[in-house]
Amino acid sequence: MREIAHLPSDMAIISSKQPAADAQQPPKEKKKRTPKQSAIPIQLASVDSEILQAEIATTEEKIQEESLRPSSIREYIGQKDLKGVLDIAIQAAKVRQESLDHLLLYGPPGLGKTTMALILASEMGVNCKITAAPALERTRDIYGILMRLEPGDILFIDEIHRLPRVTEEILYPAMEDFRLDITQGQNATAKIRSIALPRFTLVGATTKIGSLTAPLRDRFGLVQKLRFYEVDELTLIVQRTAEILKTAVTPEGAVEIARRSRGTPRIANRLLKRVRDYAQVKGYAHIDGSIASAAMEIYNVDPLGLDWVDRLLLTTMAEQFNGGPVGLDALAASTGEDRHTIEEVYEPYLLQIGYLQRTPRGRVVTAAARKHLGLKGGDDRTEQLSLLE
Ligand SMILES: Nc1ncnc2c1ncn2[C@@H]1O[C@H](COP(=O)(O)OP(=O)(O)OP(=O)(O)O)[C@@H](O)[C@H]1O
Ligand SMILES: [Mg+2]
């Protein structure tokens, strides 16, 4: 059960049925990225970097995504640990006829945080009210939302690391004691009026767990990380999406797409749609391995889903820094990329596939990365360094 909240238009809640479920801000069309100058000769702009970005790209994609979301835990592919923990929490809460503990979901974009929040609500048979931290700027935004909660409701706050301080402080007693403290008046004459709230479950989602304050993090009973997906899990996701889109894909075709999806369901779904366009234009009735590969070549998607920035980072490390170790600031200065973007957008996947390692002295490029990029050198510095540590 999900509900459309009847609120004044300046309120922050939006219905989970509406397409713009993930955020309340006006949709940002992403700017086309232009490769930045690099000192090393490397073929840039050979990959359409948009297609491999895990963040949601357009309003249209956001709308389409709603139709692809699995709606039960059974349909939710992968994330075994997360599903195991939540399954037990759901069953226990149902037996005790209580609301679920507050839950914090964190992990890179496009891995299924919002999807899981919606599934929890439907498994618990409760309403899910959705908002995003940037929409909670004024205290009255959060007051309004909390006062309209019904027993058992799930309140989903996306990008929770971006909550303004005042809003966060209102949430503390609400989460802990189901109590809303409303401050009336100002300074010396200010009075606090307390209102009892029904028991509800706050589900917070963030891509940056490190940016959350400790008091907020500590108020979540469950803190769960979403992991990158394995190729076999992404293959199942591609097959499931293909079925919804009524597109015929052979198992080999699905694997080809899964391998290039950077461990991310959102990218897998996006690549499938591009390959489907290609097959349609070329007049193929179904997508097999070689059609999927040919399409990916047209879109300049690397066999492992690396884009030009990944390649630039790895090549810079290998060629300018002799494989590392190199500090984040030096890497940022040499590539012209923002250090936070390197750390939050690129590194997680490169670490996941073992192309990059973090050591106490800095980042190190691995032999596997050199091999993939056809770079010479290749004495595996990571091994040497681990002996030194
Ligand atoms: N486990 C899964 N099984 C099947 N499809 C999935 C799964 N996880 C995510 N998806 C698909 O990927 C898309 C993106 O998922 P979702 O919006 O939940 O990601 P998110 O973690 O909330 O991302 P963001 O950090 O950008 O908000 C969804 O449309 C959904 O179809
Ligand atoms: Mg989300």
- Annotated catalytic, 207? yes
- Annotated catalytic, 227? no
Q: Indicate the average pLDDT of the chain.
A: 86
Query: Which residue is closest in CA terms to ligand 1's atom 26?
Result: 109
**90-117 per-residue burial string, b: 16 or more CB within 10 A, e: under 16:** beebeeeeebbebbbbbbbbbbbbbbbb
Nearest ligand to the CA of 107 is: 1
Query: Which residue is closest in CA terms to ligand 1's atom 30?
Result: 69
> Identity (one letter) of the amino acid at 331?
L
- Annotated catalytic, 158? yes
List pLDDT tens digits, range 287-340.
999 999 999 988 888 899 998 899 999 999 999 999 989 999 999 999 999 998
Q: How far is the CA of 322 from the centre of ligand 1 (A)?
A: 38
pLDDT confidence of residue 49: 56
The residue ranking higher by pLDDT, 37 or 165, is 165
Q: How far is the CA of 80 from the centre of ligand 1 (A)?
A: 15
Is the model's pLDDT at 128 over the cut of 60? yes
Query: What's the DSSP call for residue 102?
Result: P
Average pLDDT, stretch 233-241?
Answer: 98
∠ Cα 34 265 136 (to 5°): 75
Kindly name the residue from 266, 270, 276, 381 that is annotated as catalytic.
Answer: 266
Average pLDDT, stretch 349-375?
Answer: 94
List pLDDT tens digits, range 42-98.
333 344 557 888 887 788 888 888 889 999 999 999 999 999 999 999 999 999 999
Q: 164: closest CA among 191, 184, 134, 188? A: 134
Cα 308 to chain centroid, rounded: 21
Distances, alpha carbon 375 to alpha carbons 41, 297, 319, 324, 346, in Å: 12, 21, 9, 14, 20
Nearest ligand to the CA of 108 is: 1
